[in-house]
Amino acid sequence: MGEIRNPENILEVIEADDLLKRSLELTKSGYRFSQACAAFVDGKFELSYSFSDYETYQLHNLRVVIDPATEIPSITEIVPAAVFYENEMKELFGVKIKMINLDYENKLYRIRQEAPMGPQKTEEEN
């Protein structure tokens, strides 16, 4: 049976302005992009971008906490595989992501409600 490695995962909370820089640094240091996800918690978006080191099994998570009105840059120029994750965050949560290499313009899913997992609009806003 092979050796079992279980390093402690890293959670690094960063500013939105640092997302591109940190994504590039992790990629250049040998980490591979694993996934990205969004959550809407206490009136803010929590965006998590996960990178893995396949040699050490280290998982490095970048967490960006932003207001719903804040626009963030896409990491698809650095990590092309992030395209579907970012389109999903944009369409399902309403995260404002600029410069996605392949932007599906909210047509990735066939849904009737705009941003069903994000902040809900009041009757006055509709």
* pLDDT for 1: 57
Report which secondary-structure segment, H or E, holds 50.
Answer: strand 44-53
C-beta of residue 77 within 8 angstroms of C-beta of residue 55: no
pLDDT band at 124 (very low <50, low <70, confident <90, very high): very low
pTM above 0.85, yes or no: yes
123 occurs within a structural domain: no
Range of the domain at 80: 10-98
How many domains does one find in the chain?
A: 1
Cα–Cα nearest to 83, from 106, 109, 114, 104? 104
Q: How far is C-alpha 95 from the chain's CA centre?
A: 9
What is the CATH classification number for the domain harbouring 89?
Answer: 3.30.460.80
**17, two tokens:** 């302005």
* pLDDT for 104: 86
| Torsion sign, CA atoms 24, 97, 38, 16 | positive
Give the burial class of 109: count Cβ atoms within 10 A of its Cβ; 0-12 exposed, 13-18 middle, 19 or more buried: exposed
Q: What pLDDT digit, counting tens, does each position of 11-56 carry?
A: 999 999 999 999 999 999 999 999 999 999 999 999 999 999 988 8
